[in-house]
Amino acid sequence: METNAQDDLKYLRQVAEQGEKQPVHGGEFGILWGTLYFVASLYAYATLSGLFSFPSSTVVIAFALPIPIGVTGQYFLLKRFTQKSGAHSFGNRTSSAAWTAVGVSGFIIFLGIFLGKVLGFINADEAVIWGVLQAAIFSMYSVAYGITAQTTGDKAQYVYAAIGLLMAVATVFAIGQLEMFLVLAAGVFFGAVLPGILSLRRA
């Protein structure tokens, strides 16, 4: 019985070490979603600050459009992702699960807030609500990067985790101000697009 337990532990150690030897994949997803919301956030800031003369109502469209575009793009990227060497390693599968949880959680919170406002169940100021959501998502970025760092041994992921926390704090201080959109733009660029580009280059 003791021998079986030791064998199991040895196997788990080998699996973990195998995951650490594989490069972190999935950078293309960060580039996709990060770019979409980078553009949306800059558009929102430019429109609401008066730099653009578009109606303020178009800001909602700017943040809604990335959802179908991103889902469609991710569908095709997933087909390529599963064919990459090491994509099914322990580290990459754990990282994928963590980021899937971030995406699903963020969407569910967004949907709940949206329906709550439409149905009149939420009366809090919109700037505060969306600011809290933005801070929560950046915090989840930090968690996902931290998990990836632990399971892959990629120390750069700790830097990205720190960026997520920094952007979450910056969002808290920018709530209620237009600069919150600039924080969002900086956050998705340095926390998603840039890490994605570096990941693809290293892989």
Find all residues with CB under 8 Å of 12, minimum gap 6, and list them.
none
Q: Are 162 and 142 spatial neighbours (Cβ–Cβ below 8 Å)?
A: yes
Q: Is 54 left (phi over 0), alpha (psi -120 to 50) or beta?
A: beta
Per the rule left: phi > 0, alpha: psi between -120 and 50, beta: everything else, 23 is beta
- Per-residue pLDDT reduced to its tens digit, 76-135: 888 776 666 655 677 778 888 899 899 899 989 988 988 888 888 888 888 888 899 999
Using one digit for the tens of pLDDT, what is the confidence trace for 134-179?
Answer: 999 999 999 999 999 988 888 999 999 999 999 999 999 999 899 9
**Whole-number pLDDT of residue 95:** 84
pTM here is 0.83
